[in-house]
Amino acid sequence: MSENLAMLKYYFEFPFVRYALIVGVLIALCSSLLGVVLVLKRFSYIGDGLSHVAFGALAIATVLDITDNMLVVLPVTILFAVFLLRGGRKAKIQGDAAIAMLSVGALAVGYILFNLFPPVNGNVSGDVCTTLFGSTSILTLTQNEVWLSMVLSGVVVVLFVLFYHRVFAVTFDENFAEATGQNTGLYNMIIAVVIATVVALAMKLVGSLLISALLIFPAISAMRVFRSFLSVVICAAALSVVCAALGIIVSILAGTPVGSTIVAADILGFFVFSLLGTAKGRVPA
């Protein structure tokens, strides 16, 4: 135990390890907030589709040899998010099948691009693996990425707090909100843009295949136990932060891949909360 502590202490001497922990926690916080909205709007699969779009965009950025790949990934993902979430519940054409097609299509094209135009240092499978499952080591985050992630996470959290009640209204009953003169189109648009931002950010942390877990697990876990919107949001956020911190620390100590370890922590959280929910259900409130 003390060995572990000593090792952690050693690692946390490095500023970039500390930064990575902060960024990871912030991203987990953002994705849990938006995850509640996605799950309740029955849009879980859109988060999945978007993450694959982000992978395709990253492949394009790599091919074009754009060093700051966020410049490509962010706008492309936002574009698709707006397209997919536009019109909210009224959207008819964007059925499950269309999103699945987009999702696997982006994945396939991205992989082809990676193979046709291998990155300069030439390690295709390593690069693809990193993109799909997250950086094998959190230490690969550059200083710029750290700052960008921190700023974007801050913006996401602030937007969520400012629009919290509107988000509730369009999630609970979009028709009522629209009928009583609220700008549901605008709120849906903001939700779409923010979700895209979170997906693009989270790709750094857990990779594009595992983003959905970051979005969905905390929300579902919280809903097992809590019965009001506010308590679910707060619980999901707290749970996600704890799981991310735990996952990052364990991954440092055990040398496991960061993204998958965080997701494993989220799965554990889900089981714990399911048990809590069942126990709570048995006791008459």
Partner 1 sequence: MALLTVENLSLGYEGITVAEDLTFSVNSGDYLCIVGENGSGKTTLMKTILNLMKPLSGRVATGEGLQPAAIGYLPQQTQVQKDFPASVREVVLSGSLNKSGFNPFYTKVQKRQARDNMERLGILPLATKCYRELSGGQQQRVLLARALGAADRMLLLDEPAAGLDPQITEDMYMLIRQLNESGLTILMISHDIHAAARYASHILHVSRRPLFYGTKEDYVLSDIGQQYGCKVAV
C-alpha span between 219 and 225 (Å, rounded): 10
Tell me the CA distances in angstroms from 91 to 44, 50, 82, 87, 206, one per residue in order: 15, 17, 12, 5, 30
DSSP for 187-212, please give it.
Answer: HHHHHHHHHHHHHHHHHHHH-TTTHH
Residue with Cβ nearer partner 1 (65 or 173):
173
**Residue 164 sits in the site that holds partner 1 (CB under 8 A):** yes
**Residue 176 sits in the site that holds partner 1 (CB under 8 A):** yes
Residue with Cβ nearer partner 1 (184 or 197):
184
**Residue 4 sits in the site that holds partner 1 (CB under 8 A):** no
**Residue 284 sits in the site that holds partner 1 (CB under 8 A):** no
C-alpha span between 274 and 14 (Å, rounded): 37
Residue with Cβ nearer partner 1 (4 or 231):
231
Pick from 81, 169, 211, 214: which binds partner 1 (CB under 8 A)? 169
Window contacting partner 1 (CB under 8 A); options: 12-20, 107-115, 134-142, 163-171: 163-171
**Residue 191 sits in the site that holds partner 1 (CB under 8 A):** no
Residue with Cβ nearer partner 1 (39 or 141):
39
Non-local (6+) Cβ contacts of 218 within 8 A are 28, 31, 32, 35, 36, 235, 236, 237, 239, 240, 243, 266, 269
**Residue 86 sits in the site that holds partner 1 (CB under 8 A):** no
The binding track of 16-55 with respect to partner 1, each residue x by CB under 8 A or -, is ------------------------x-x-------------
Structure tokens at 285: 């409130």
C-alpha span between 111 and 128 (Å, rounded): 7
Tell me the CA distances in angstroms from 108 to 75, 80, 115, one per residue in order: 20, 17, 11
| Near partner 1 in 238-277, by CB under 8 A | none
Pick from 1, 67, 97, 181: which binds partner 1 (CB under 8 A)? 181
**Residue 229 sits in the site that holds partner 1 (CB under 8 A):** yes
Structure tokens at 40: 């309740």
Binding site for partner 1 (CB under 8 A): 40, 42, 161-166, 168-169, 172-173, 175-182, 223, 226-232
